[in-house]
A and B are shown apart, each in its own frame.
Chain A
Amino acid sequence: MQTDNNGSFNAATLERLRRVLPKDRATDPTGERLEELLQRISSQKVPVGSFSRIWLLGSLQAKVTCGYLAYWLRSRFADADQKDVLKNEARLAAALQLFGTMGYLRGAVMKVGQMLANLPEVLPEEFAEVLAALHFQAPPMHYALIREVFRDEFGKEPDEVFASFDRQAFAAASLGQVHRARLHNGQEVAVKIQYPDIARTIRSDLRNLRILLQPMCMTKDWPYLLEKLADLEQMLEMETDYRQEARFTQEIRELFKRQDQIVVPEVFEDYSTRRVLTTEYIPGCHLDEFLAGEPDQKRRDHFTHLLTVATMRALYRKRFLLADPNPGNYIFMDDGRLGLIDFGCTRVLTEEEEALQHEFEEAVMAGDDQQIDRMLAKACYFDDVAEMEPERLRVVGRGARWQMEPWMKEGLFDFGERDFFRRGIDATMELGRKGYSRGAPTWIWANRFILGARGVTYRLQGRCDFRKIYEQEVKR
């Protein structure tokens, strides 16, 4: 990207930026004010967070992301009086500046920004790709750093712990990276290693995210948004203990038998600690590679079926929401089995949440609209439907009904149908635009779970008898 050394724009970049920035017809028809705001931010340096290596607002892409975030956040307080608008502008400038210092969440925020930049013409394909990229990322580690982590965790070097250890990572994980290795008994394993002290970075990023969202503080739903961020923080902190993930992995592994054709790797506890997780290596390819091989419809349907069985069984048998939308968590094996890996981001539903889910499914399948509305009100923390604004009920209901569409169809459900996915995007976007965040934090995870899986099955262009699978899994 063309920027001069101090991070401000040169003329050509400025011109490109001006073209792509959003324009607000009423208050800012030329996009000039937004551009001024961005200029102001990018010429001010802020202390860089613990592991940002570059000042990211130096890139055009980051500026566009910022521009769209600003545009979106501003629309939250479009009706406020002039004084409040000014106050919020100042907050917004400060908040966007902090965006450049995010180490861990920045990737995810950039992806959201890219998507916002394409609104309202976002294509279902782009949406699915953005969803896939919405996982968080730690910086890469060189081998010398890995050695120190091993000495702290095992008191030994990787070469001593394992019979052999690949120095080059073969995959990125949300909190670190994965290396291949071999145990002394010959077993091939995947070793996930966490970047040191990542929890601190996550905490500081979430603090920044809270500030980034400050301009929304005047909206009625602000406290609920804060509650959701607190839940997110707690989840991410839990994820930093790999022993927790090891337990989830073992529990999920027990759910599947050989004939299920679903493989969850064995955990090797003697080789696992809080920051290192060693599991069986599952050979196969990820979604992109699988699709590149132009699989026929039968194979696409087959994996869509397995994916649905896997996620439903975890949900109905264990109350586990597999909430990480990263398609890298699915491994397409040559022999037709589906590998499931990476259970760090597993949200366990409470019994009460589970009961609510069942009740809702039944209301949807019975087509009982009044009951559906009552339940939506409850999920949004209203005692009664009458308390809920009609617009909120409509928007929330639209999203929820889209999520439940597969439950209502007998026979093959086509997750690759463009119209179906498009409706989901529209519903999700509307929810975002209206800023309705009132409701239990579980819904973030439920949404992440459903949208993540739908993104994968959309790209798979796969079909399955969803209703039948549901009936089988819910009864087990």
Chain B
Amino acid sequence: MRISQQVKEETRERILAMATQLFLSKGFEDTTTRDIAAAAGLATGTLFNYFPSKETLAMSMVNEALSGGIEDYRQRCCDDEDLVEALFLFVTSGLRRLRPLRPFLGPVLERSLSPFPRKAICPEGESARQEHLAEVQNILGRHGFTAAPDYVAMTIYWSLYLGILAFWANDESPQQEATWALIDYSTQLFVQTISGTNPCTGAGHAD
């Protein structure tokens, strides 16, 4: 019997919802695919038809959140931001979407977004990275960087971004405000590096 596309979609959503609950209550490491399948009322084998691994499952959540973040960014963008502000807004929009998943994200991001080349690249992680960097390129393009940024610039950006994610995942300050300060510095640093100048950051102090 072939199940309809709609049922498939519903099952996928159910798995994601159950997995989120379990990750939040038991943590990512201590949750098994068997736990998730049981909670979703599926055989473990069936679960694998939807998600080949626990990492892929978690990264699907991350992917969806980050895609939502890109949408939010585009909506919130006023087009009068300078490059530092635009990048800042972009990064924070993504983090706001990721916030509900934060309690279990550390190990997920570590495994799936590692900058080290691995044999089995997590396809979900790779697509999250591609989508994110494509938007960064768009932003740079809109701010006058017409030549495609080379791999050095993108590697620097990605390293800073992973650093921000890692810091944020463990940030104990109220509402992760320390991360906002870190993003502020990181975006300034990046723009300074690629443009070779001191970035103008909009609001200077009016002493």
Q: Are A167 and B89 in contact (CB under 8 A)?
A: no
- The residue of chain A having its C-beta at the shortest distance from the C-beta of B81 within the complex is A144
Q: Would you call B181 and A51 a contact (CB within 8 A)?
A: yes
B28 within 8 A of A: no
Q: Which of B175, B178, B185 contacts A200 (CB 8 A)?
A: B178
Which chain B residue shows the least CB distance to A288?
B207
- Establish whether residues B205 and A169, one from each chain, have CB atoms under 8 Å apart when the complex forms: yes
Report chain A residues within 8 Å CB of B131: none
- Of B96, B182, B203, the residue contacting A143 (CB under 8 A) is B203
Residues on the A chain within 8 Å of B104, using CB: none
The answer to whether B81 touches A143, judged by C-beta atoms less than 8 angstroms apart, is yes
Could you say which of B84, B185, B202 has the most chain A C-beta atoms within 10 Å of its C-beta? B202
Q: For the side of the interface on B, what is the size category? A: 20 to 34
Interface residue ranges of B60-101 to A (CB < 8 Å) = 76, 81-82, 84-86, 88-89, 92, 96
**Does B21 belong to the interface (CB within 8 Å)?**
no
Q: Counting CB contacts under 8 A, is A130 at the interface?
A: no
Taking CB atoms, residues of chain B closer than 8 Å to A141 are: 184, 203
Which size class do A's interface residues fall under? 20 to 34
Residue B177 at the chain A interface, CB threshold 8 Å: yes
Q: Are A145 and B206 in contact (CB under 8 A)?
A: no
* Interface-central residue, B92, B177, B207, by most chain A CB under 10 Å: B177
Residues 223-268 of A contacting B (Cβ, < 8 Å): none
CB of A142 within 8 A of CB of B207, answer no
- The smallest beta-carbon distance between B197 and chain A, in angstroms, is 13
List B contacts of A143 (CB < 8 A): 81, 85, 202-203
The listed residue (B76, B185, B205) touching A50 by CB distance below 8 A is B185
Distance (whole angstroms) from the CB of B91 to the closest CB of chain A = 10
- For the complex, give the distance between the alpha carbons of A152 and B178 in Å: 13
8 Å CB contact of A152 from B177, B201, B207? B177
User: Which positions 128-165 of chain A face chain B at CB distance < 8 Å?
Assistant: 137, 139-149, 151-152
CB of A419 closer than 8 Å to a CB of B: no
Is there contact, CB below 8 Å, between B205 and A152? no
28 A-B residue contacts at CB 8 Å? A50-B182, A50-B185, A139-B184, A140-B203, A141-B184, A142-B85, A142-B203, A143-B202, A144-B81, A144-B86, A144-B202, A145-B88, A147-B76, A149-B177, A149-B180, A151-B96, A152-B175, A168-B203, A168-B206, A171-B206, A171-B207, A172-B205, A172-B206, A172-B207, A196-B178, A196-B181, A197-B180, A197-B181
A residues apposed to B, CB below 8 Å:
50-51, 53, 137, 139-149, 151-152, 167-172, 177, 195-197, 200, 275
Pick the 3 closest A-B CB pairs, nearest first: A142-B202, A196-B177, A144-B85
